[in-house]
A = this chain, B = another copy of it.
Amino acid sequence: MAKATIDDVAALAGVSMKTVSRVVNKEPNVRASTRDKVQAAIAELEYRPSQSARSLAANRSYVLGLLYDNPSANYVIDVQEGALETCRRAGYDLLIHPCRHDEPSLASEVLSLVRQSRVDGLILTPPLSDIAELVEGLVAAQVPFVRLSPTENKQACPYVQTNDQEAAYDMTCQLIELGHERIGFIAGHPDHKAVAERFKGYRAALKESRIKLDKSLVVQGYNSFESGRAGAAQLLALESRPTAIFASNDDMAAGVIIEAHHRGIAIPRELSVAGFDDTPVAHQIFPSLTTVSQPIADMASKATELLIKQLKGKAVQMPAAIMSCRILVRESTGKLGK
């Protein structure tokens, strides 16, 4: 059986092509009885509209592009899941486009995607959300897009973020309440602003508790397990070593735990460790990691919704959504000596 076209359906239903088009696109002003006839014909012929034809005629592709440069597989997968969930409901498909945030031609490469009419809009995830050149390029080219967890230039487009600095603050407070005063901090990759700025929450909590920020307790990490382990090595070699270490993400926290194991430091008896993100490693590690869970998939889903609204020309009234993190207390944190 050859692929049915809109003409075949129209002929079978005894209506015009255009009416079939109306039914397919759920346009108003079609008599119920006509709609039924058309739908029956569609079912009988197993008609599926050609996306290329409708893209060409209507000048939109019903495809969204997901841009990422995130080494964390779990993050990316969660974002994909959330984005796809909304896409499915709205009849969109998702094209994935990993790219390097430090690639000079990034903006033009991405613009090409749009100018080829491959995608109708874009979803940017950190750290791409904060690449000024890219964001400005998209704005200038009037490309619809949304961002996840941007830290700068927030009026550029709709966005979704979490209260993660607040969560970092809360986590630090919890450690302080457990009696910790020397709390090490492993900062996130400086290019990855959303992670890097968790430091602000840490700093604020110390300040509130009038604990002086000891710079020797803050080390630069790069979001990787190895950088976490190296950071821990540095912190745990200090003469007066910290009694707790808060890493800006779970991979680094896992590095801290391994380094502690290798030094024979008991967790949490001698050292509390906290992470951020609740990646699978957080509960697969021993001891299981106290961390912060972010609703990544929900964020992505919400962001996609905002993008699609924008595409439909509806002014996005609430161009930003803030979602809440949750602290998960597990085995890796506790009072000293317990």
Contact = CB atoms under 8 A, between A and B. Distances in A.
Nearest to A52: B55
Main secondary structure of the interface of A (DSSP, over half): helix
Contact of A286 (B73, B84, B257): B257
Contact of A93 (B49, B56, B95, B288): B95
Nearest to A55: B52
A89 to B, nearest CB: 15
A117 B84 contact: no
A116 B48 contact: yes
Contact of A53 (B56, B84, B281): B56
Interface in A49-72: 49-53, 55-56, 61, 63
Contacts of A46: 115
Contacts of A50: 56, 116-117
A105 interface: no
A94 interface: yes
12 contacts: A48-B116, A49-B116, A50-B116, A50-B117, A51-B61, A52-B53, A52-B55, A77-B77, A255-B284, A261-B286, A281-B285, A284-B285
Contacts of A261: 286
B73 A77 contact: yes
A96 B80 contact: yes
A230 to B, nearest CB: 14
Contacts of A257: 286
A216 interface: no
A16 to B, nearest CB: 21
A288 B284 CA distance: 12
A115 B3 contact: yes
Given A257-B286, A281-B281, A281-B284, A96 B116 contact: no
> What 5 A-B pairs are tightest by C-beta distance, nearest first?
A52-B55, A73-B77, A52-B56, A48-B115, A254-B284
Interface in A155-213: none
Contacts of A80: 96, 98
Contacts of A96: 80, 84, 94, 96
B118 A93 contact: yes
A236 to B, nearest CB: 15
A61 B55 CA distance: 11
A81 interface: yes
B280 A117 contact: no
B283 A285 contact: no
Contacts of A51: 52, 55, 61, 116-118
Contacts of A3: 115
A97 B96 CA distance: 11
B73 A112 contact: no
A115 B5 CA distance: 11
A258 interface: yes
Contacts of A285: 258, 281, 284-286
A70 to B, nearest CB: 10
Contacts of A123: none
